Structure 1
Amino acid sequence: MAWLAAGEGYEIALVEGRVAARSVTGRAAGRQLKTLPKALKDHPEVDRLRRLAEWLDRHAAACVAQVDGWMVSSLPVPTELLARVWPDEAWQNALRDLAVVGDDPDEVGFLRDATASGELKVVNLDGETVRLSPRTVTLPHPVLLPDLDDVREFAAELGIVQQVEQIHRATWRKPDEVSATATEVRDYAGGVFPTRFSLAARATALGYRVSGGYATCKVRDAGAGSGTEAAVWIGEPYYDDETTTGALSWHDEDGRAVTLAKVGPVAWSEGMRMAAALYAGRKIEEGGDA
C-alpha cells in the first residue's frame, strides 16, 4: 500500500495489517519507525487506516468462512466465480493451494491460479501444472479424497500451506456396521465443564452455532437432497451449574432425527469433529483419584 502524508514530517501506511509510520525529514527519512509516534496516534488518517485494517481482517475471515462452507457443503462452485474473486488478495489467500476436482472426479489438483478467462491452473498429483476449464469445480472434503495419506505426503513435498483447513483436517470415518435404528453417538459424551456458559463459549469460539441446548453445524453430503445438521447437547440455556457434553445426533431440515445408517460421510466426519473439539476442552481431573 502507498505511503500517505500524515501531519508534518510523517507518512503512514498499512504494513502487514498494522498502521506503520516513517519520517520524511532528518536522518531517519524514509526509514520505517518501530512504533507509531505519539503525535500521530489521534490523527484522522491513522484512524481511517485502522478502520480499514479492521475491515480487511473481517473480509479475510469472511472469505475463509465461505470457502470452508463450500467444502463442507459438497456443492459445485462455478469456475467463473473463482475467476472473478481471484484478483482479491483475501479470496486468493483463502483459495490458493486448495485441492479441487473438475470434470473428472478422480483427478485432484492443488489450485494455483484462476485467470480472467475462467481457466484454472492446478498442480496435479503427478507434480505437473495443468490447465482446466470446467464449468464448475468442487472443493472436496478430505474424508472423500481417496488415498488421503498420499495426498498429504505430496502436499508436504510441495510445501503447501492452506488457509482453509482441508487436507490436514481431522476426519472420522463411519464404521462399516452401525445400528439400523440408532440415532446417537456417545463417544464424546460426559466431558465436564464448570458451567454451561463456558461450554457454549467454547462452541462459539470454535465457529459452531449455539441454539437452545445444542451446539450445531450444518453439512451437506454430495448427492443429498437436503442438508443435515449435526448437534451436540451442551445443557439447558441459562443453566449456571456444572454441565457435561451430551450425545451427538443428526437431524434433517425438518428437525427429524436421522438414523446413523443414513448419515453421510461428510456429515459423520464433521459431527464427530465438532463433538471431539468440544470434549477436548473438558475439565481434566488431577491427582491420585483422576
Structure 2
Amino acid sequence: MAWLAAGEGYEITLEDGRVVARRVGGRQLKALPKALRDSPEVDRLRQLAEWLDRHAASCVAQVDAWMVSSLPVPTELIARVWPDEAWQAALRDMAVVGDDPDEAGFLRDVTGDGELKVVDLDGETVRLSPRTVTLPHPVLLPDLDDVRDFAADLGITQQVEQIHRATWTRPDGPDAGRPETATEVRDYAGGKFTSRFGLAARATGLGYRVSGGYATCKVRDGGRSTEASVWIGEPYWDGESETGGLSWHDEDGRAVRLTEVGPVAWSEGMRMAAALYAGRTIEEGGDA
C-alpha cells in the first residue's frame, strides 16, 4: 500500500494489518507518533484494516462452505475474484476437480483468459476451463493419504483446511455394532464441562451454531441438506454439563438413520462431536 500524507510532516500506511508512520520521505518509525494517534487519517486506516480482516475472513468462510458442501463453483467466478488478494489467498492451493473426475489437482493460478492453472497429481501443470469446478471434501478424494504426501512434496499450504482436515468414514455392515434403525452416535458423548456456558462457548469458538440445547452444523451432501447436532445441555442451565449423542436431521427436521447419512455429513458431524469432546474436563488423581 502507498504512503499517505497525514499532516505534521508525517506519512502513514498499513503494514501487516497495522498503521505505521514515517517522516515524509524518511525511514519508518518504530512507533506511531503521539501527534498522529488520534488523527482522522490514522482512524480511517484503522477502519480499513478492520474491514480487510473481515473481508479476508469472509473469503475463507465462503471457500470453506464450497468445500464442505462440494458445491460446483463457476470457473468464471473464480477467475473474476482471483485478482483480489484475500480471495486469492483463500483459493490458492485448494484441490479442485473439473468436469472429468480425473481432472484433479491443486489450484496455483488463473490466466488472463480465465483458465485455471492446476498442478495435477502427476506433478504436471495443466490448464482447466470447465464451466464449473468443485472443491471436494477430503473424504470424497480417493487415495487421500497419497494426495497428502504429494501435497507435502509440493509444499502446499492451505488457508482453508481441506487436505489435512480430519475425516471419519462411516462403518458399515455387522461390524458397525449398531441396529439398522439407529439414529444416534455416542462415541463422543459424556465429555464433562464445568459449565454449559463453557461448552456452548467452545462450540461457537469452533465455528458451530448453537441452537437451543444443541451445537449444530449444516452440510449439503449428495444434493441434499443435512444438519448434524450434538446435545450440549439446556440453554439456561448454569451448572455442569456434558456432551450428548450426535444425530443427523433432514430439511424437514426428521431424524436420519445412520445407514442413510452421507459420507460428508458423517465426517463433518463426527468432526464436530470430536472437537467438542476434546475440550472436556480431564479428571486427575486416583479416582480419575
Q: Which deviates the most, 173-182 or 59-68?
A: 173-182
Q: Which residue of 1 aligns with 2:267?
A: 269
- Equivalent residue for 1:251, pick from 249, 252, 258: 249
Q: Which residue of 2 aligns with 1:217?
A: 217
1:156 to partner: Cα distance: 0.7
Contact 2:220–2:226 at 8 Å: present in 1 too? yes
Q: 1:220 aligns to what SS in structure 2?
A: strand
Q: Give the distance between the partners of 1:194 and 1:9, measured in 2 at CA.
A: 56
RMSD: 1.0
Q: Which residue of 1 aligns with 2:240?
A: 242
Q: Which residue of 2 aligns with 1:66?
A: 62
- Equivalent residue for 2:164, pick from 168, 184, 202: 168
Q: 1:246 aligns to what SS in structure 2?
A: coil
Q: Which residue of 2 aligns with 1:119?
A: 115
Q: Give the distance between the partners of 1:229 and 1:118, measured in 2 at CA.
A: 35
Q: Give the distance between the partners of 2:26 and 2:166, measured in 1 at CA.
A: 47
Aligned length: 284
Contact 2:226–2:250 at 8 Å: present in 1 too? yes
Contact 2:172–2:259 at 8 Å: present in 1 too? no
The residue correspondences of 1:119-198 to structure 2 (distance < 5 A) are 119-177=115-173, 178=176, 179-198=179-198
Over the matched positions of the two proteins, sequence identity in percent amounts to 83
Q: Give the distance between the partners of 1:169 and 1:162, measured in 2 at CA.
A: 10
Q: 2:271 aligns to what SS in structure 1?
A: helix
Tell me which amino acid in the other structure corresponds to 2:150: F
Q: Give the distance between the partners of 1:269 and 1:167, measured in 2 at CA.
A: 14
Q: Which residue of 2 aligns with 1:34?
A: 30
1:281 to partner: Cα distance: 0.6
Q: Which residue of 2 aligns with 1:23?
A: 23
Tell me which amino acid in the other structure corresponds to 2:261: V
Tell me which amino acid in the other structure corresponds to 1:251: H
Contact 1:214–1:232 at 8 Å: present in 2 too? yes
Q: Give the distance between the partners of 1:70 and 1:281, measured in 2 at CA.
A: 28
Q: Give the distance between the partners of 1:30 and 1:190, measured in 2 at CA.
A: 61
Structure 1 residues without counterparts, runs of 5 or longer: none
Q: Give the distance between the partners of 2:113 and 2:218, measured in 1 at CA.
A: 33
Q: Which residue of 2 aligns with 1:9?
A: 9
Contact 1:84–1:116 at 8 Å: present in 2 too? no
- Equivalent residue for 1:108, pick from 96, 104, 109: 104
1:116 to partner: Cα distance: 4.5
Tell me which amino acid in the other structure corresponds to 1:274: M
Q: 1:219 aligns to what SS in structure 2?
A: strand
Q: Give the distance between the partners of 1:31 and 1:288, measured in 2 at CA.
A: 62
Q: Kindly report structure 1 stretches of 4+ aligned residues shifted beyond 6 Å.
A: none
Q: 2:83 aligns to what SS in structure 1?
A: coil
1:7 to partner: Cα distance: 1.6
Q: Give the distance between the partners of 2:32 and 2:200, measured in 1 at CA.
A: 38
1:114 to partner: Cα distance: 2.0
Tell me which amino acid in the other structure corresponds to 1:187: D
Q: Which residue of 2 aligns with 1:288?
A: 286
Q: Give the distance between the partners of 1:116 and 1:91, measured in 2 at CA.
A: 16
TM-score by length of 1: 0.96
The residue correspondences of 1:45-64 to structure 2 (distance < 5 A) are 45-64=41-60
The residue correspondences of 1:86-101 to structure 2 (distance < 5 A) are 86-101=82-97
Q: Give the distance between the partners of 2:93 and 2:64, measured in 1 at CA.
A: 13
